[in-house]
Each structure stands twice: as structure tokens, then as C-alpha cells.
Structure 1
Amino acid sequence: HGNNVYSFCLPVPAHRVDRTQICIEHLYHDDFLFQKDTQGRRLFAREEFEQDGNHVRHEDVFCRYSKATLIVDSNVSGIGSLRGKPVVLSKKQFADYVEQAVAPFQSPSLDGFQGVFEVLQQFVHNQIQGDA
């Protein structure tokens, strides 16, 4: 794009080859991505919710407007036994936990990011070659 600004599509990691769409959070494995924090909050996948907002496995959560994103980090409310309790973790809080190595988010596998690292290495290599 100029001024050292680049864009690229996320390479689909081996553990997501069955998906037609991914977002950056999908580079993590599900067991890491959807774990709960110490307050019982977590991220949710859009496909965890039916069109009417009910959870497909009948967990005590309800989602409004889940079509806008692949990973849901808002508009999820506790119902039934979870009424009034925090249930959804924001993507920012998830990223902060990973960056700060807050349990249980302290040891992510980064193998899903390998394709991104390779693309970035190629950008750097091309930039260096262009400067030579």
C-alpha cells in the first residue's frame, strides 16, 4: 500500500483446514481460545449460538447479534443459573491475558501463527532486498 504498509490474508493453520472463514483468534487452538478466566468468562464462537440467540448445547447463555463476528466477545448474557454473572470475555482482555501470561492463558501454542510468521519474514526479506 506504500509507506511500508502491507496487508495479507491470514494463512489457514492446519487445525482449521475445515473452516471456510477464520479470524486472528482462530490461530489459537480451541482448548486455549475458549477456556474460562478465573471469573468464569470466556470468548464464544458464533456457531455456538442458534439464529434465535440460544446456545446450541443449551448452556445458560444467550447471544444478541452474533452474526457480525466469528468470535463473540460481547452481547452474551447469562440466563438461568448464570443470570447476572459475567460470562463473556472481551477480545482485548483475552489478548491482555495472553500478553501478560495470566493463568490460565500463560502458555499458548503458537504453531497456528507459523504461516503469519512466514509471511512477515517474506515482507522483511523483500524490504531488505529492495533497499540493497
Structure 2
Amino acid sequence: MSAIKYPIQGSCQCGGVTYQLLEPPLMVAACHCRECQKLSTSAFSITAIVKASAVEFSGDMSDWSRSSESGSINAAKFCPTCGNRMYHFDPQAPEKLKLKPSNLSDTRVIDPSMHIWVSEKQDWYKIPEGVTVFDKQP
């Protein structure tokens, strides 16, 4: 397999929001909490933690937020036309973004090294060996 070349292009389903990921993610995690199951309409959601300075967005995005179990705010940016979630962020830590990387043109960066909230994992999904696992939020 060839090396991943940056920047990598990304976009929402309709193309109204585009972006470039300029460097590799700091980490990639699979979250199994019920909220992420709702978000992904699947067993878990994939998140790539990136430096905010490592991604450049173009296009209008809408906002949404909710409180997390810890009481912090989990804010999100999404395309107002097609509804694709682009990233989440903590307003208290704006230097990092929780990018939703499935909309990248090269998805080889999606290789979770961590699975979180496995206490809410679907019983039928088997977590691969060799990854770090947390019952809840680390």
C-alpha cells in the first residue's frame, strides 16, 4: 500500500462543504455510545482527532450541541443542505477538532487505535485485538 499523501480532500454528501486535511490525525477512535450509534445509524461512530490548524473548511455550516455525561458541551458543525456531520468540538478546547473522516477522499486514515464507550457496544460487534478499550470516556 502506498503512503498517504496530504492534503486529503473531504466533503459532505452534496458537496456544499469541502475541506482539506493537511496532516495526519493525532488519533482515530471508534465510539460505541448510544449517541454515536444514533449519529452514525450504525454500531459506532469514527472520529479522527486533529489539530484545528490542520484542517481548512470551505462552505457554510450549521451548528448543533448537546451536553455530555461529564457536563461538558459536545458541539457539532454540519452541512445545512445534506445534514452530513463534518466535525465535533469542545468549545473549551477549540485547538482540537473531532473530524468525521468517512467523508475523506482517502479513507485509509480510518484505522481506530481506540474503542470507547464499549459499555454501550452492540453485542454482535467484535472489537479487533490489539486496540485500546475503554468502558466509557477516557
TM-score by length of 1: 0.30
* Greater relative CO (CA pairs within 8 A, separation 6+): 2
Q: Which has the higher strand share?
A: 2
Higher helix share: 1
TM-score (norm 2): 0.29
